[in-house]
Amino acid sequence: MMITKEGYEYIAIVFGTFYLMPQIILAYKVKTLQHYSTLSLLVLIFATVVWVYYLYNNDDLYYAVATGFVTMNAVVLLCMKYTYYVGHLKRKLKELDDNDTV
């Protein structure tokens, strides 16, 4: 069977580990994550933290590090989402202030 051969798990790890990178790059370019669910990011962070803990306790350090990278990507997206949202709110408040002074 092809899946049991050595090496295929590494391909899965590489693609599974880096799947959030395009989202981070796109979010950085467009400066918004309004269509990305905060709840899904929180669930992903929770799930990967628990999975890292499980892998670490079972001495699967390589897989734990890869999963930890996914966790860090999700945290980066959550921080970007918060930062862009706060920036959006500040711009809206400035518009309101500008309209009040006119």
Find the CATH number of the domain harbouring 30: 1.20.1280.290
Among 10-19, 21-30, 43-52, 82-91, the least confident range = 10-19
Which of 84, 88, 67, 78 shows the shortest CA–CA distance to 18?
A: 67
Q: Alpha-carbon distance 54 to 37, whole Å?
A: 26
Which of 79, 95, 1, 72 shows the shortest CA–CA distance to 33?
A: 79
Percent of the residues in the chain that have a pLDDT greater than 90, as a whole number: 64
pLDDT of 4? 58
DSSP alpha helix (H) spans, the chain: 8-17, 21-30, 38-57, 61-101
Residue 80: which domain range?
A: 2-101
Asked if the model's pLDDT at residue 89 lies above 70, the reply is yes
Quote the number of domains for the chain.
1
Name the DSSP letter for residue 19: T
Note the pTM of the prediction, 2 decimals.
Answer: 0.81
- The pLDDT mean for the chain works out to 89
